[in-house]
Amino acid sequence: MRHYIFSRFRLGVFSSMVSLLAIAALLVYFSFAKTEFFFETAKEPFHFSPYLDLNLAIEVTPPLTDTFFASNTKSTVRLPKGETFKGFQNLTLAFASGECGQERWGGLSAQKLATANLLALQQANVGYMISTGGADDMFTCSSETGMETFIKRYQSSHLLGFDFNIEAQQTEAMIQDLVHQVSLAAKRYPALRYSFTLAAIGTGEENSLNPTGKKVMHALAKAEMENFHINLMVMNYGHADRGNCVVRNGQCDMVASAIRAVNNLSRTYHLPLHRIEVTPMLGINDETSNVFTLEDAHRLATFAKTYGLGGLHFWSLNRDVGCKETSTQVSPTCHGLAGLDKLAFTQAFAWLAAPTPAVQP
| 55-63 long-range contacts, CB within 8 A, separation 24+ | 55/94, 55/95, 55/105, 55/106, 56/318, 56/332, 56/333, 57/318, 58/105, 58/106, 58/108, 58/113, 58/116, 58/117, 60/106, 60/107, 60/108
pLDDT at 50 over 80: yes
Q: What is the largest CA-CA distance in the chain?
A: 99
Task: Give the model's confidence band at 43: pLDDT under 50 very low, under 70 low, under 90 confident, else very high.
Answer: low
pLDDT at 313 over 60: yes
**Is 269's pLDDT higher than 80?**
yes
- Burial of residue 104 (number of CB atoms within 10 Å: 0-12, 13-18, 19+): middle
Which one is predicted more confidently, 68 or 208?
A: 208
- d(CA 37, CA 121) in angstroms, rounded, equals 36
pLDDT band at 245 (very low <50, low <70, confident <90, very high): very high
Is the pLDDT confidence value at 2 over 80?
no
337 DSSP assignment: -
Residues 6+ apart with CB under 8 A from 139: 95, 96, 97, 98, 99, 100, 103, 132, 133, 164, 165, 178
Closest CA to 280 of 265, 295, 266: 295
pLDDT at position 358: 55
Give the 3-state secondary structure of residue 285.
coil
Q: Is the pLDDT of residue 190 over 50?
A: yes
Q: Is 93 or 113 the better-scoring residue by pLDDT?
A: 93
**331 to 282, 284, 318, 322, 328: CA distances (angstroms):** 10, 8, 10, 10, 9
Q: Cα–Cα distance between 317 and 321 in angstroms, integer?
A: 8
- Where does residue 78 fall: left (phi above 0), alpha (psi -120 to 50 degrees), or beta otherwise? beta
Residues 6+ apart with CB under 8 A from 342: 72, 320, 321, 322
Please check whether residue 342 is in contact with residue 320, taking contact to mean a CB–CB distance below 8 angstroms: yes
The helix/strand/coil state of 243 is coil
Average predicted confidence (pLDDT) for the chain: 82
Nearest to 115 by CA among 81, 148, 142, 76: 76
Helix, strand, or coil here: 150?
helix
The pLDDT tens digits of the residues spanning 71-92 come to 434 433 334 344 444 446 899 9
Q: Which of 41-45, 168-172, 207-211, 217-221 has the weakest average pLDDT?
A: 41-45
User: How high is the pLDDT of residue 159?
Assistant: 98
| Dihedral over Cα of 232, 296, 89, 77: its sign | positive
What is the share, in percent, of the chain residues with pLDDT greater than 90? 62
Position 318 scores a pLDDT of: 87
The CA-to-CA distance between both ends of the chain, in Å, stands at 63
More confident residue, 31 or 126: 126
Q: Which of 85-89, 91-95, 161-165 has the highest mean pLDDT?
A: 161-165
Sequence-separated (6 or more) residues with CB below 8 Å from residue 7: none
What radius of gyration, in Å, describes the C-alpha atoms of the chain?
A: 23
Q: How confident is the model at residue 7 (pLDDT cuts 50, 70, 90)?
A: very low
Element housing 160 (H / E): strand 159-165
